[in-house]
Chains A and B, each alone.
Chain A
């Protein structure tokens, strides 16, 4: 805690008027009100209000209505770091839900926890099955047993179909990013070397894997009409990438500026992604603290991929994503400080620092970050995960290598085309009104 109080956000005094305090913009109880308006099958539990049941969870969590706090306490003992299954997303269209958790602590003895089973079974409709998406391969999940972890067995979870994916552990990601940065900075001008290094970094492989898994989760919910539980090992990295991306796919609200902020708040900050550990150093640092990993950056990259494929479906533009990337690593705002809600409360961040959202949600910033092509739609958008469809995020990985002047100019031109059109529309409408008035006012001009 000592090193914290010396960090910049504690000293930063905003040069702008704080109209809306971002620390209060996305509270769990407000998010719950939205949920309540759609369904009465869930309740907000305070079982974790002093962070004793799950240190990395927020004080309020949404759980099935009929599951009591005692059940939750017991389930927490069966999940990695106490991260029992909680609600991540409710799909209004068909009432299906997505939950997330840490891995079950089955261990080598095949331990079971009836309360955990009851908790997740409560989300199933009678006679219907759910899907458990384990972000680890079956081998990795098996090996986890030796360390006290494991996966949900068919015997104890008969109503759930388990699917394993192959998302790499976060330490692998850091290595991947270092290699990618190195590839981008290679001065040899050899195409073979570039492609070879790009491939060897595997960064785009990770992008593809995460997007594929998010699509899978979204398909289970939207197409199969089934509920989904997502977990990896700790439930703080790949789990959150999958649940948040799935919401981008499924929920148009998450594609608005505010909606995306809320998504980051819920699925990353409040959900306990360890930002302080993952984003301790610069993304370009060569040193490798054990916990360092560009998990959040990878998530933003995936969002950017979807944004590229659906350029009219997002209220925000690429610059918003780049902004979040920057602030996750270094910021004058307190939003990304700390690893979990408990820490942020202990450090009194909401009182002592300014929230990033306070700054972003001012009209002049919103204008700068918004997407001129945006046309609200209520669609579920399915990104292509073919290698040909996935691009290297130049705006982040090549930003210091090459001038973006021409692309910036193209963007300005695009904005100009759209603005000019709006201007003309207004002029035409206004003239039309004037003409109509002229005709009514002047009796001499009345058509006989």
Chain B
């Protein structure tokens, strides 16, 4: 509360983003967690709440006769344009919000004060709701080919990896540890996804510290072990998701990529996805286009093209497809890495999983996938999503791109996903909102240190409880689209601009009638009708039974039938 210089400002105007002449007048309140705009026009009491943790940046513009403009950009792409009557007030609000939206320590994060009124037992159940081990069991693991390793139980081998890791049966602790020393940040090759049907696997790691000529016996043995865990194939792919030039440049720093000569039976492949800085700039450029007030079609398309955003989405999806095909069609295992193995690697592995396995296209399955390949495998959520004051160069919309790949797939396969667009948008929003503890910190070890299980709440159970809002009415688990491998087209014209996310708050831009809501309402009614039908049938049966019994008893008692 000490950061709030001015808790209340009156006669503030909130301009409509598209038509600035339309504005609403009200009072602006600053609380410890939110900015609240309460419209006080006669008879209307509408409130606009903005979470501080969702505020990305603010812009104070030159004061004019009407007041001092303050434009707030949010991480969920909402843009609010306030006009505050007095310069002094605007200045105070600006400074307060700046401090409030940029926590300096983890302790200030919203998840520690967010209180949905559940007791400790319920909170624990929230966190136990999703069980990663259950997903491995679902894949059939552990089995004769893959085992659970305890080598990283105390995060000593790699402090950014999870404690539970699956490795080939033949990989001994010395091999694992040796390999980890040859990998950036100790992130040795380990299992991401295992295909029961043909034993092919997707493994992930970081780049090898190969420099120009370094070798590591254990790392080579590790890959050998992975190869042998797929008895039906005599080679495996190693996919470096960086552009070749970047990978080569890394060699000068003592890192690099796998030399086909040193590793037996690998086929090495670059699939160039650009780095986090390129992605950050790309999204920034695209957001600028989204915020144009009345762009022409040319402005929009040119802006979209020059941002390169859809090109990057396509690159991620293309990479996922390559890996999914290798596993499902060729039955060949794949090792995926980038530099650190927590950005592009996470994207590509999880996209491939969505393509391969219908389970990850269910509500629960997607949550499990994000928990596994992103949260547990140490994607640096707090750094990438700018949860607190930090290095702006670490911020990058990597998870955004994964969610968008899923959305692009949903557009191509409307019947294949159990969840709807709203599900993805809600997850996106909460990754950035810090309301839940799931995405706080940068890896599993940090989360345990912060005591998030005991001090915050889990998003996953909230989503599950409210699943009715997130269901896709067109989904049927037995639908042909929902089976097996998805083979999407990645021709450029198949990629759409995700208006639902990037212009989410521009209500006028979206279809005024929602097919999905209409169908969901019908399905709800159908369910009620089915219940009514069952109950009517039951009543009908009872009545006939009763009628029969009554007649029978009358006959028995010699009373004869009426009429």
What is A's interface to B at a CB cutoff of 8 Å? 184, 189-196, 198-199, 202, 204-205, 207-208, 308-313, 373, 381, 384, 386-392, 394, 398, 401-402, 406-407, 409-410, 413-414, 417-418, 420-421, 424-425, 427-428, 431-432, 434-435, 438-439, 442-445
Contacts and interface: CB of A to CB of B under 8 A. Distances in A.
A184 to B, nearest CB: 6
Interface string B519-540: 1001101100110110011011
B298 interface: yes
Given A424-B530, A438-B543, A388 B503 contact: yes
Contacts of B476: 413
Interface stretch (B20-28, B222-230, B545-553): B545-553
A204 B302 CA distance: 13
Contacts of B540: 431, 434-435, 438
A439 to B, nearest CB: 7
7 contacts: A192-B311, A195-B492, A196-B305, A198-B301, A384-B509, A409-B414, A445-B547
Nearest to B473: A417
Contact of A194 (B297, B493, B523, B539): B493
Nearest to B494: A402
A431 B535 CA distance: 10
A447 to B, nearest CB: 11
The prevalent SS among residues of B at the interface is: helix
Contacts of A191: 305, 308, 310-311, 314, 492, 495
A262 B476 CA distance: 40
B499 A388 contact: yes
Contacts of A208: 296-297
B533 A424 contact: yes
B305 A205 contact: no
A199 B297 contact: yes
Given A409-B481, A444-B547, A445-B547, 8 more contacts: A310-B512, A311-B515, A387-B300, A391-B496, A398-B493, A406-B414, A417-B522, A439-B543
A312 B311 contact: no
A17 B139 CA distance: 60
B129 interface: no
A190 B414 contact: no
A205 B298 contact: yes
Contacts of A413: 414-415, 474, 476, 479
Contacts of A309: 511-513
B562 A443 contact: yes
Contacts of B489: 402
Interface centre among A207, A394, A410 (most CB of B within 10 A): A410
Contacts of B526: 417, 420-421, 424
B231 interface: no
A384 B508 CA distance: 7
Interface in B391-426: 412-416
Contacts of B416: 406
B480 A409 contact: yes
Interface string B468-491: 000001101001110000000111
A312 B295 contact: no
Contact of A409 (B415, B499, B523): B415
Nearest to A394: B493
B297 A195 contact: no
B508 A199 contact: no
B491 A381 contact: no
Contact of A388 (B300, B310, B494): B300
Given A193-B492, A388-B499, A402-B491, A205 B562 contact: no
B515 A445 contact: no
B59 interface: no
Contacts of B296: 205, 208, 387
Nearest to A381: B512
A239 to B, nearest CB: 22
A192 B530 CA distance: 51
Contacts of A394: 493
B36 interface: no
B497 interface: yes
A37 B114 CA distance: 64
Contact of A407 (B308, B414, B473, B546): B414
A381 B509 CA distance: 13
A417 B523 contact: yes
A398 B496 CA distance: 14
B159 interface: no
Given A312-B518, A417-B473, A410 B539 contact: no
Contacts of A402: 489, 491, 494
A304 to B, nearest CB: 13
Nearest to A403: B489
B15 interface: no
A198 B304 CA distance: 11
A79 B496 CA distance: 45
Nearest to B519: A417
Given A410-B474, A413-B474, A417-B526, A310 B513 contact: yes
A208 B295 CA distance: 11
B309 to A, nearest CB: 9
B537 A431 contact: yes
A160 B257 CA distance: 74
Contacts of B295: 386-387
Given A311-B515, A390-B297, A438-B543, A195 B529 contact: no
Contacts of A427: 529, 533
B536 A432 contact: yes
A207 to B, nearest CB: 8
Interface centre among B473, B491, B493 (most CB of A within 10 A): B493
Contacts of B414: 406-407, 409-410, 413
A194 B301 CA distance: 10
B303 to A, nearest CB: 9
A311 B513 CA distance: 6
B506 interface: yes
A444 B547 CA distance: 7
A417 B515 CA distance: 12
Contacts of A388: 290, 300, 497, 499, 503, 506, 509
B508 A387 contact: no
A373 to B, nearest CB: 6
Interface string B319-347: 00000000000000000000000000000
